[in-house]
Amino acid sequence: MKDEEDVFIVQDSNENFETWTSRDFVSEELRESLKLASILIIPTIGFRRVNEPTFPIGTEEFLQYFYDKLDSKFTIDVCINDDQYQELALYSNYRRYGNFLVKSAALTIFLNLLSSYIYEKAFSEDESKPPIQIVNVDNSVHQTNVNPTVETKLPKKYLESPKVKFSVTVVDSNGTSKDFHYEGPAKDVKAVTEQIKQLWDDDAK
């Protein structure tokens, strides 16, 4: 059962591999390679007045995870020229994992790996430690982490499930596509990815 604050949006989309690979930040040489990919990590454009295409911090690590675990018959790539790639660090209650364009044939394995990655990152020991801001006498600031103990009184937000955010656009062989957007607790990601599979399968029948 998902929390009331969860956001799970499903809607028809006009975006597909052609619409993204034809963007001006994709060279003609790269375009042909991206069209062969099973999964594309696509940028956010115009977020918080940043007009250039950007990706969430940690995208390269995410990409490497998929390189290591993705079945050899599927491929994943980043939808941008190398010299224009940039990551944007956003500090909020949500861990952003990005936007993805996925061919329907690769949907199941993509969602399985996505949920596994989020569980590993969101619930890892280091990520679960609350940040503590320390102000020195010279007014310089640095951050550290502490391990909560039974004696430590922590704010409620550190005792709750980490929040995550991601969007998946699924595209069939005819170019028809549908968007799935999720914002909510990481603990619900497995249930959400299973729901995405079911909704896509039902729609394809």
Domain boundaries along the sequence of the chain: 7-126+163-204
Q: Of 17, 25, 36, which Cα lies nearest the Cα of 86?
A: 25
Mean pLDDT of the chain: 82
What are the start-end ranges of the H helices in the chain? 17-21, 28-34, 59-69, 107-122, 125-128, 189-204
User: Quick one: average pLDDT of 89-100?
Assistant: 83
Lowest mean pLDDT among 3-7, 94-98, 141-145, 198-202: 141-145
Return the structure tokens found at 144. 């550290």
Mean pLDDT of 78-89: 92
The pTM score is 0.79
CA-CA distance, 179 to 167, in Å (whole number)?
A: 7
Contacts of 124 (CB under 8 A, 6+ apart): none
153-171: average pLDDT? 74
Q: How far apart are CA 16 and CA 113, in angstroms?
A: 21
Q: What percent of the chain has pLDDT over 70?
A: 75
Question: Which of 97, 28, 92 lies closest to 58 in space, CA to CA?
Answer: 97
Residue-level pLDDT at 52: 83
Answer whether residue 10 shows pLDDT above 60.
Answer: yes
